[in-house]
Amino acid sequence: MIGVASVPSSHVYVRHLQPVPGDGANELPNHDSVVVLPDPVPARVDVPGQWWPPRLLDAHWLAEQTEVQFDVLHVHFGFESFAPEELARTVEHLRAHRQALVLTVHDLHNPHIADNTAHLRQLDVLVRGADAVVTLTAGAAARIEERWGVRATVIGHPHVVPLERMKSRRPQSDSFVIGVHAKTLRANVDPMAVMDAVIGAARSLPDATVRLDIDQDVFDRQSHWHNPVIGAKLLDYRTFADVDVRVHPRFGDDALWDYLSEIDVSVLPYRFGTHSGWLEACRDLGTSVVASDCGFYADQGPVHSFGMGIEHVDASGLVAAVRASYENRTPALDPAVRERQRRTIAAEHAAIYSTVIQEMR
């Protein structure tokens, strides 16, 4: 039995690194079974289900815990609130207690912060201190080896949408809906930069419309995401007859699956980034993806790419990408294929855990 303290354990990505419950695959061949510990409750909880900032990265908290026992600490997300010096102390604590550290590098550039300096300094500690490094694409692995001289194991992203939901048929529609979701105007999301080109592309296609969604937090003065200036500019698109602008609370999972099933293509206006769970959800549901060429989205799955960086957008390339998504529709992935992939991913992680534990002995 391998005890894994995952940072976090409640994230959908982490949950889907484990075999499907009840499918007979929980016992992984040639490896010990893996038990993932629940997320420790943070010192201050502001929202239901909150796991951040993760106590498992606090060396002082770890030193005080006698009941928290694990063989491997597996870090995915949530380390942005810890200084490199604090992370170094956590690495030292793990070494002293012969507990292995596994790191999955999801983000080479933190999508929530434009200035990536601090994120790279944190990765400097974690990548070099890890007993094993995992990432999602060959492109990201090459970048990791280039910067840190560390070889990462490449393991693909598991499904995001529940397997049962993937079996549902998409609703029928006579129009081709191009979706742009502004979300909460996260640091790497710039919908204003793409909207005019997307509308132009829609007008060149038969029966195409544009749907622009905005999270309500953008207009809430009490919200961290309050951004009335950009929010007002986005609302101006209500004057366009062929643009459906919707403002609503942040989608829960079921509402998100409904939304992605109602649009035919999702345009990801990312100025910077690395990988995308949103992209995987689109693949699960048969929604095409048009994504900027930053990061490694095209390595992660089939996308129609266009040029977009910190200061530029290739508008003609974006129009071409949207038109390509119209001409080459993306079928939903077979849930049975995704289930088999999940079993493989679980076995690959169990193998990594077994190896690093053996090497610690």
Model confidence over 18-44: pLDDT tens digits?
Answer: 998 876 544 555 557 999 999 999 999
Q: Do 26 and 19 form a contact (C-beta atoms < 8 A)?
A: yes
Which fold does the domain 163-327 belong to in CATH?
Rossmann fold (3.40.50)
Provide CB contacts within 8 A for 335, sequence distance 6+: 159, 163, 164, 166, 167
Q: What is the pLDDT of residue 283?
A: 97
Closest CA to 309 of 322, 291, 293, 289: 293
Instruction: Provide the residue count of the chain.
Output: 361
Domains 2-159+339-360 and 163-327 share a fold: yes
Q: What is the pLDDT of residue 48?
A: 87
Q: Do 11 and 76 form a contact (C-beta atoms < 8 A)?
A: yes
Cα 255 to Cα 83, 236, 320, distances in angstroms: 36, 25, 30
Q: For 203-220, what is each residue's pLDDT tens digit?
A: 999 999 999 999 999 999
Rounded Cα distance, 313 and 359, in Å: 48
pTM for this predicted structure: 0.96
Residue where the block lists tokens 């007993």: 131
Q: Do 215 and 182 form a contact (C-beta atoms < 8 A)?
A: yes
Q: pLDDT-derived band of residue 99, with 50, 70 and 90 as boundaries? A: very high
- DSSP letter (8 states) at residue 315: H
How would you classify the pairing of strands 208-215 and 100-105?
A: unpaired
Residue where the block lists tokens 């994504």: 291
Strand order in the sheet with 176-181: 243-248, 208-215, 176-181, 265-268, 288-292, 304-306
Q: What is the pLDDT of residue 26?
A: 47
Buried b / exposed e along 291-300 (16+ C-beta atoms within 10 A)? bbbbbbbbbb
Cα 219 to Cα 150, 192, 247, 259, 306, distances in angstroms: 44, 16, 9, 21, 30
Q: Residue 333 corresponds to which tokens in the numbers above?
A: 């992935």
Amino acid at 195: M
Q: For 133-174, what is each residue's pLDDT tens digit?
A: 999 999 999 999 999 999 999 999 999 999 999 999 999 889
Pick the CATH number of 2-159+339-360 from 3.50.50.60, 3.40.50.2000, 3.90.550.10, 3.90.226.10: 3.40.50.2000
Q: Share the mean pLDDT of the chain.
A: 95
- What is the CA 107 to chain-centroid distance, rounded? 8
Q: For 260-277, what is each residue's pLDDT tens digit?
A: 999 999 999 999 999 999
Cis peptide bond upstream of 191, omega within 30: no
Cis peptide bond upstream of 228, omega within 30: no
Q: What is the pLDDT of residue 302?
A: 95
For the chain, state the CA radius of gyration: 21
- DSSP letter (8 states) at residue 80: G
Rounded Cα distance, 94 and 88, in Å: 10
Q: What is the pLDDT of residue 28?
A: 52
Phi, psi of 98 (to 5 degrees): 55, 45
Give the residue-averaged pLDDT of 192-208. 98
Q: For 313-352, what is each residue's pLDDT tens digit?
A: 999 999 999 999 999 998 999 999 999 999 999 999 999 9
Domain ranges within the chain, ordered by starting residue: 2-159+339-360, 163-327
DSSP secondary structure of 199-247: HHHHHTSTTEEEEEEEEGGGG-TTSTT--HHHHHHHHGGGGSTTEEEEE
